[in-house]
Structure 1
Amino acid sequence: MALIDVKTAAARLSTLVDGLDETTARGDSVLPGWSRGHVITHIANFSRAFTRQVDYALRGELVEVYDGGRPARDADIEAGAHRPAAELVADLDQALTALLAAWDRVGPEDWSRPILHRNSTLAHGIDATWRELVIHTSDLGLGPTPDEWPAHFCTHLLDFLRPRTPDGVHLILRPSDGPVWENGTGEDRVLTGTLTALTAWYAGRAQIEGAPELLPWP
């Protein structure tokens, strides 16, 4: 993917939450148990964490994604979710601005630099940033849905989520508006629909009747 995809996703998110009011901030997101304040806080915290991943990588150093690991990540989301709407939006804008500035500092020779996020590289890290911004923008439940995910994003996400296919299943997705996609070995399970609907199901954001139960996110 290209940095422009990340910048496009960030701009869309910022525009979406601009002027967020208190009632909307406290309202339910698409994610069970999370308000929109939870989602916004998570995106802001993720953005800061990834800014740090980039900054350290460019110095030839490694750093944990979240100090204190998953428990600290979850506690920080809960602690920040109930802030006033204006504070949520300002924090998100500041975090996204810093994140995009960090990615702008990555040169052509830097993409192979290692990071601790998934024990991968900056090239994989910008893909992770893209996924977080696009998916969680839909999770806010403020208008954009997975039906609007770009085709090249869907293709990327399907390939990233291949480990979700259960053992013993040969999963065959036949989108009405795209090429056939296959993964796994075993019993054939064929699902049909639009590319976005099938991708949303594989990402845990939609239901498809008769679909197999998926494994956790990789």
Structure 2
Amino acid sequence: MEAGSAVAVTEPVATGQAHEDDDLPAAFAAGLAKLRGLLDGLGDEALRAPSALPGWTRGHVLTHVEGVALALARQARYALRGRTIEVYDGGRASRDAAIEAGHRRSAAQLGPALEAALEEAEASWAAVRAEDWARPVAYRGGTLRTAGLAWWRELEIHTVDARLGAGPSSWPPRLCTHLLDFLAVRVPDDVVLTLTAVDSGRVWTYGRYGGGAPVAAEGRLTDLAAWLAGRRPEGEITGGPLPGLGSWP
């Protein structure tokens, strides 16, 4: 990156990327199991309740999960055929229109539609073999690994956003470390931010090449990841003051 850009610098991770990619299907399965367990018995009134996202109900969030599950599953299916396809037919406008229309459905309508989308995602990602993760996809001009990590983020983060009973403390450590690296660009250029995970001892330094003012903070790994993802930490982050964050990458 250019000088002044946010850069996350962490200690080396012993696990190789190939092994991490092999573990992604298990990570997806765990996230799906968690969401499905929280959906049991969800009724119409609960769907109209506010989510953690401003202006969105639970129905909005779950409709978005339905749509992104199908969209990223399609990335996987086409990549395995040696083809690429846009993420959403009609782009972002189509995605937004589908959420606006779909969030008003009853639980009897939304529930089965969401489950069908989750089953499609489950089947599509289960078909990806170890040698397939580098296949190109249209999503961000990346690879199946790029799209797979996006599905994992969307699944886990929006499960929390839906306020169904799971908070950021339910996020697995590997997801949190991924978020702390992936979201490095959200840290502004005018600080050198050091985050220390008190429960693992790992340290992330952002913007260390930019010559900005030093800021240090520490907290649990899940809380640091929640803050950088723009979600409310469940525990305390000490030090700081923490800077304002830029846009999601």
TM-score interval (norm. to shorter): over 0.9
Residue aligning to 2:207: 184
Residue aligning to 2:155: 133
Checking the alignment, whether the CA contact within 8 Å between 1:18 and 1:89 is kept in structure 2 is no
Distance 1:184 1:49 in 2: 33
Question: Which of 74, 81, 84 is equivalent to 1:52?
Answer: 74
Q: CA deviation at 1:86?
A: 2.0
Checking the alignment, whether the CA contact within 8 Å between 1:44 and 1:96 is kept in structure 2 is yes
Question: Which of 33, 38, 41 is equivalent to 2:55?
Answer: 33
Distance 1:70 1:189 in 2: 36
Q: Where does 1:104-143 land on structure 2 (aligned, <5 Å)?
A: 104-143=126-165
The question of 1:217 aligning with 2:243 is answered no
Q: CA deviation at 1:122?
A: 0.4
Q: Where does 1:42-121 land on structure 2 (aligned, <5 Å)?
A: 42-121=64-143
CA deviations over 1:77-106 (Å, ceiling 9, x no partner): 010001001211111110010111011111
CA deviations over 1:43-94 (Å, ceiling 9, x no partner): 0000111121111111111111011111111111010001001211111110
Residue-pair matches, total: 218
Alignment RMSD (CA, Å): 1.3
Checking the alignment, whether the CA contact within 8 Å between 1:161 and 1:217 is kept in structure 2 is yes
Unaligned runs of 5+ in 1: none
TM-score (norm 1): 0.96
Unaligned runs of 5+ in 2: 1-19
Letter of the 2:179 partner, please give it.
Answer: L
Question: Which of 192, 199, 205 is equivalent to 1:170?
Answer: 192
Residue aligning to 1:157: 179
Distance 1:58 1:188 in 2: 46
Checking the alignment, whether the CA contact within 8 Å between 1:161 and 1:202 is kept in structure 2 is yes
Distance 1:174 1:7 in 2: 29
Which segment is superposed worse, 30-39 or 160-169?
Answer: 160-169
Q: Percent identity?
A: 48
Distance 1:61 1:84 in 2: 36
Letter of the 2:98 partner, please give it.
Answer: D
Distance 1:148 1:175 in 2: 16
Q: CA deviation at 1:191?
A: 1.4
Distance 2:76 2:39 in 1: 26
Residue aligning to 1:146: 168
